Amino acid sequence: MIKEEYDLIIIGAGFCGLIIGQSLTQSSFNFKIFEKSKAFGGRASTRRIGGQSVDHGLQYFTPQNREFATWMQAYLEQGLIKLWANQFYEWKSNNKKLSLEEKSNSYYACPNGMTSLMKEIAKVLPVSREIKIMSAERDFEENIWTLETDQQIEIKTKKIICTAPLEQSLNLFKNYLSSAEELALSKIEYNSALIGIFAFEFDEMPCPDWKGIICSEHEILNWIAQDSSKRDKPNQLILVAQCNPEFSQKNFNESEEILLAQIEKALKSILPNFNYKLKEKQLKKWLYAEPISGLNKPFMSAIEDSLILCGDWCLASRLEGSFLSGKAVSEHLLNI
């Protein structure tokens, strides 16, 4: 059994965990981030199909908060983030036609996939990947936490910052929360999401003139991205179709084959003249995709501030909420 000791450990190298790590690099904290997956970024996640990046989690971001917009600047200049679109199309159920979204907005994405940005942030951080925190026990006399992992590593730490989706955080720490804290957390809910990814041959045909279609009036889908339009030199046309929360939840345990057939049919109902030749299709299931109700504060502190629970579910405002939660935690830690 390997034994490690830290002032502070962060559970999760999703965006929130990475933002906290980035803010603490100049501090005197002896800290480490532990991530159960191989990749950085959590739900800001990219896979490769035929050598091309495809975002099968986070689709785009629309900075509203000034601190987030300022943080993005350095990565925009590096070319890791780019303005992807100003307007999407909308599909209406009454006439079954596409029309341009009424308002324009600034939709940002990463030309090499969302994971490329997460990798860049993680580059200078102490992160151990493919290590899952399995349990946590507090010694109230010594004021120390002992964490067990799935890799025969025992970790002792004074503080824990847990950025995992709420349900997974509760699996680890439920026994350490007061009934008032548990009650506040019981009101937080997530949407699930089923994602169909469809790769088409490029041929000599021009790409469709839309980058994204909002189809919230459709019975199965609520969003279609022409993911390949985010890439600088795509070698194939790739669509990412996201099912609406009701359909996703109801059909979550359905087989991959049936779900892909249903999503493909739904795509055809929105894009009847889409005549590209299909090469490959894949499915991704997200049980905890996006929080729909939050805590209304950026983090929860428990056990004399030795345990902090945070992430996008605190403010329920997606990637930007995750950033703001991470920033608030960092400020709190640096001001102690």
Ligand X SMILES: Cc1cc2nc3c(=O)[nH]c(=O)nc-3n(C[C@H](O)[C@H](O)[C@H](O)COP(=O)(O)OP(=O)(O)OC[C@H]3O[C@@H](n4cnc5c(N)ncnc54)[C@H](O)[C@@H]3O)c2cc1C
Mapped to the 3 state alphabet, what secondary structure does 283-309 carry? Answer: EEEEEEEEECCCCCCCEEEECCCCEEE
Least distance from C-beta 192 to ligand X, angstroms? 9
Q: Could you give the string, one character per residue 200-239, with x where binding to ligand X holds by CB under 6 A and - elsewhere? A: ----------------------------------------
Least distance from C-beta 131 to ligand X, angstroms? 7
Residues between 52 and 81 that touch ligand X (CB under 6 A): 57-61
Number of C-beta neighbours around residue 45 at 10 A: 21
Q: Does 196 bind ligand X (CB under 6 A)?
A: no
Least distance from C-beta 163 to ligand X, angstroms? 5
Query: Which residue's CB is nearer to ligand X, number 120 or number 290?
Result: 290
Least distance from C-beta 178 to ligand X, angstroms? 22
Query: Which residue's CB is nearer to ligand X, number 202 or number 284?
Result: 284
Among residues 166, 193, 238, 308, which is the contact residue for ligand X, using CB under 6 A? Answer: 193
Residues in Cβ contact with 104 at an 8 Å cutoff, skipping those fewer than 6 apart: 86, 87
Structure tokens at 157: 């730490």
Query: Which residue's CB is nearer to ligand X, number 271 or number 291?
Result: 291
Q: Does 163 bind ligand X (CB under 6 A)?
A: yes
Least distance from C-beta 286 to ligand X, angstroms? 4
Least distance from C-beta 156 to ligand X, angstroms? 16
Given a contact cutoff of 8 angstroms between Cβ atoms, the answer to whether 27 and 176 are in contact is no
> How many degrees, rounded to 5, is the angle at CA 319 between CA 37 and CA 160?
55
| Segment near ligand X (CB under 6 A); pick from 6-14, 177-185, 250-258, 295-303 | 6-14
Residues between 284 and 323 that touch ligand X (CB under 6 A): 286, 289-290, 311-312, 318-319, 322
Burial degree of 286 (CB within 10 A; 0-12, 13-18, 19+): buried
| Segment near ligand X (CB under 6 A); pick from 33-41, 80-88, 204-212, 262-270 | 33-41
Q: Does 42 bind ligand X (CB under 6 A)?
A: yes
Q: Could you give the string, one character per residue 106-135, with x where binding to ligand X holds by CB under 6 A and - elsewhere? A: --------------------------xx--
Q: Does 37 bind ligand X (CB under 6 A)?
A: yes
Query: Which residue's CB is nearer to ligand X, number 202 or number 216?
Result: 216
Given a contact cutoff of 8 angstroms between Cβ atoms, the answer to whether 128 and 40 are in contact is no
Least distance from C-beta 99 to ligand X, angstroms? 21
CA gap 259, 195 in Å, rounded: 9
| Segment near ligand X (CB under 6 A); pick from 42-50, 211-219, 256-264, 270-278 | 42-50
CA distances from 333 to 90, 93, 271 (A): 43, 49, 50
The DSSP bridge pattern shows strands 127-128 and 31-34 to be parallel
Count of residues in contact with ligand X, rule CB under 6 A: 36
Least distance from C-beta 113 to ligand X, angstroms? 13
Residues forming contacts to ligand X in the complex (CB under 6 A) are: 11-17, 34-37, 42-44, 57-61, 132-133, 163-165, 168, 193, 195, 242, 286, 289-290, 311-312, 318-319, 322
